[in-house]
């Protein structure tokens, strides 16, 4: 079977929007240059599209043009390596998903233990947020919540008070063990994040869980988050003004 025919058959079996590299389809094809040339010819013909050097996808074609892959597909190589989790979508990437804003962003933010310079892929700008906790499949949801608390002032098109109420609604149904883990993870976040999480858990009558957060704070420091006092009855205890 010719290289082009083999690659075409492999690509036909891929779902639309799936991002791949030449290594994903080179099985039984030993010539790297031949594979890359065949892929580039397919890009020129419109059968596939290219989002970055060596990264391709089979576009979904609509009357309004080709749809880009979803955000997770666009950056999956930055989230996992050899089966190990190395990053997670956060910030602008998940605010809409969490119900914190109705806006969709062209900025993809990724939490990682080691940050790197921002990059571009297609129409997306990709930036990185330092995560000091070990990242696991099990704690990603909790880290996303903590990041939303940390960057509550940067949630687009949302009042602080409304964002706080939504975060309370997300925290309330968490199992006790997750709330305990949330407190432990928060200890590696900035003081303002610890204070706001502590005030939120107090609001949910989880006072017995917040002692480590309270003890970690400087008693004379204040944290300015306008409007939050309207959502949290005990903001003053946590020096939130």
Section 37-52 average pLDDT: 89
State mean pLDDT over 223-235: 91
**Mean pLDDT computed over 42-64:** 86
The number of beta carbons lying within 10 Å of the beta carbon of residue 83 is 5
**Rounded average pLDDT over 29-43:** 82
Provide the mean pLDDT of the chain.
Answer: 91
Euclidean distance between CA atoms 79 and 165, whole angstroms: 30
Task: Taking the CA atoms of 138, 141, 142 and 144 in sequence, report the sign of the dihedral they define.
Answer: positive
Question: For 119-134, how does the pLDDT look when each residue is reduced to its tens digit (9 = 90+)?
Answer: 998 889 999 999 999 9
Q: Locate 157 and state its tokens.
A: 């098109």
Residue 234 has a pLDDT of 93
- pLDDT digit string, tens, across residues 76-85: 999 999 889 9
Average pLDDT over residues 162-186: 97
Question: What mean pLDDT do residues 166-182 have?
Answer: 97
Fold adopted by 3-67: Arc Repressor Mutant, subunit A (1.10.10)
pLDDT at 73 exceeding the cut of 80: yes
Reference 129, options 170, 87, 169, 100; nearest CA is 87
* Bridge partner residues of 111 (DSSP): 88, 129
3-state helix, strand, coil in the chain (%, to 5): 45, 15, 40
Q: What is the pLDDT of residues 135-173, one digit of tens each?
A: 999 999 999 999 999 999 999 999 999 999 999 999 999
pTM listed for this prediction = 0.86
């Amino acid at each position: 079977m010719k290289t082009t025919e083999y690659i075409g058959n492999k690509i036909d079996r891929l779902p639309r929007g799936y991002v791949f590299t030449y290594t994903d389809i080179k099985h039984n094809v030993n010539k790297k240059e031949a594979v890359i040339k065949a892929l580039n010819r397919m890009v020129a013909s419109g059968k596939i599209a290219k989002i970055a050097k060596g990264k391709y996808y089979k576009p979904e074609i609509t009357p309004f043009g080709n749809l880009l892959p979803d955000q997770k597909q666009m950056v999956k190589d930055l989230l996992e390596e050899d089966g190990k989790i190395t990053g997670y979508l956060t910030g602008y990437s998940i605010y809409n998903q969490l119900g914190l804003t109705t806006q969709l962003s062209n900025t993809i933010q990724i939490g990682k233990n080691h940050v790197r310079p921002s990059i571009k892929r297609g129409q997306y700008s990709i930036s990185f947020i330092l995560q000091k906790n070990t990242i696991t499949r099990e704690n990603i949801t909790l880290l996303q919540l903590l990041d939303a608390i940390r960057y509550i002032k940067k949630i687009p098109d949302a009042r602080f008070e409304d964002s706080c109420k939504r975060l309370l609604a997300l925290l309330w149904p968490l199992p006790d063990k997750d709330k305990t883990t949330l407190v432990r993870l928060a200890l590696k976040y900035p003081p303002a994040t610890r204070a706001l999480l502590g005030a939120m858990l107090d609001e949910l009558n989880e006072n017995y869980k917040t002692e480590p957060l309270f003890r970690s704070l400087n008693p004379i420091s204040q944290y300015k988050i306008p409007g939050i006092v309207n959502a949290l009855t005990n903001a003053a205890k946590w020096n939130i003004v």
